[in-house]
């Protein structure tokens, strides 16, 4: 499966008369970590929702040669939406949130519990299993949602700006965890992000959209300003900074 591609072929999404993305075509190698970049309103979330089958689209999306709509009927995908307000007030525990990922599986309560605890273990959250998700920090909530995505046993994980609101240390830990679970589960990961620095350090492929696909080459070249200006406009300037790895102590 990892030799195949997720093919996006001339995909257009309209909300009534508003065109959110137009004729986007690209091929994403399975088993890799892909990042979608682009300005706010550029269509990143819309493209992610189209891949996840959550919005209607024109064009074609194929997973390893199989039409995505047919693929989704048989295989759930791991999906992390932008965090919404419901996480702040809904009285579900961490365990119950991860349990959602097991919905399709016909299994006994005991077997389900084993799976849920195993995936919580993978994101180092077993000790918080009984805590309401609303009481966790943003970074901890994202780890729970990753455990939920893993619980679907999908080979494709899609994440919509999962790093929003995280400090640099948490972002660094997040990327390291993503890298680890990608290897352990042979995952294909598609993520949208605004963070150019971390993205270019960790992603194996970056593609940029601003309603249309913006031509690009390798991730590292994104750091050159002309490429960035294509996306974010002429007034953008890059400032270099050092990323802490999760083991490093922060210099205050």
Partner 1 sequence: MFEFLSLTFMQHALLGGELIAVVAGIVGPILLFRKMSFTSVGISHGAFAGIALGILIGVSPMWAAIAFAMGIGLLIGFVSKTGKISEDATIGTFFAFFMALGIFLIDISKGYHVDVMGYLFGNLLAISSSDVYFAAIVLLITVFWYLFRGRATVYSTFDEDFSRIVGIPVDVDYYFFMLVVSLVTIIAVMFVGVVLASSIMIAPSAASKMLSKKFSNVVLFSILFGMVAVFGGIAFSFYTNIPSGPSVVFFITAIFAISLGIKWSRNFVKS
Which positions lie near partner 1, rule CB under 8 A? Answer: 49, 52-54, 72, 76-77, 79, 81, 84, 86, 89-93, 96-97, 100-101, 103-104, 132, 134-135, 148, 152
Shortest Å, Cβ 139 to partner 1: 19
Nearer to partner 1, 100 or 220 (CB): 100
- The whole-angstrom separation of Cα 4 and Cα 65 is 8
Q: Residue holding tokens 């591609």? A: 5
Judged by beta carbon, residue 103 or residue 224, the one nearer partner 1 is: 103
As measured in angstroms, the least distance from the Cβ of 84 to partner 1 is 8
Our CB check for partner 1 shows the closer of 73 and 221 to be: 73
Q: Least CB distance from residue 197 to partner 1, whole Å?
A: 29
Q: Which is nearer to partner 1, 12 or 96 (CB)?
A: 96
Sign of CA dihedral 194, 198, 201, 205: negative
Rounded to a whole number of angstroms, the minimum distance from the CB of residue 246 to partner 1 is 27
Q: Which of 167, 129, 127, 173 is nearest to 148 (CA)?
A: 129
Dist CA 12 CA 42 (whole Å): 13
Task: Report helix angle 138-151 to 168-185, nearest 10.
Answer: 10
Task: Give the span between the Cα atoms of 89 and 134, in whole angstroms.
Answer: 6
Of 87 and 212, the one with the shorter C-beta distance to partner 1 is 87
The residue (of 75 and 230) whose beta carbon lies closer to partner 1 is 75
Shortest Å, Cβ 28 to partner 1 = 18
| 87 to 18, 70, 82, 93: CA distances (angstroms) | 30, 31, 11, 10
Nearest distance from residue 152's CB to partner 1, in Å?
6
248 CB burial (10 A radius; 0-12, 13-18, 19+): exposed
> What whole-number distance in Å separates Cα of residue 138 and Cα of residue 226?
33
């Amino acid at each position: 499966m990892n030799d195949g591609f997720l093919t996006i072929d001339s995909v257009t999404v309209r909300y009534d008369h508003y065109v959110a993305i137009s004729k986007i075509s690209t091929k994403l190698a399975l088993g890799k970590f892909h990042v979608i970049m682009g300005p706010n309103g550029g269509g990143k979330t819309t493209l992610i929702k189209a891949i996840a089958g959550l919005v209607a689209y024109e064009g074609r999306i194929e997973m390893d040669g199989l039409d995505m709509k047919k693929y989704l009927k048989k295989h759930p995908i791991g999906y992390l939406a932008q965090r919404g307000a419901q996480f702040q007030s809904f009285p579900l525990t961490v365990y119950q949130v991860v349990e959602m990922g097991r919905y399709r599986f016909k299994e006994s309560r005991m077997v389900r519990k084993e799976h849920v605890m195993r995936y919580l273990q993978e994101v180092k959250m077993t000790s918080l299993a009984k805590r309401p998700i609303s009481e966790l920090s943003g970074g901890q909530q994202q780890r729970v949602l990753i455990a939920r995505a893993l619980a679907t046993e999908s080979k494709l994980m899609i994440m919509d700006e999962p790093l929003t609101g995280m400090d640099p240390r948490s972002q660094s830990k997040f990327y390291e965890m993503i890298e680890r679970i990608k290897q352990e589960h042979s995952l294909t990961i598609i993520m949208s992000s605004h963070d150019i620095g971390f993205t270019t350090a960790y992603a194996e492929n970056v593609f940029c959209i601003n309603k249309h696909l913006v031509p690009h080459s390798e991730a590292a070249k994104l750091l050159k300003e002309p490429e960035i200006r294509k996306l974010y406009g002429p007034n953008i300037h890059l400032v270099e900074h050092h990323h802490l790895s999760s083991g490093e102590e922060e210099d205050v």
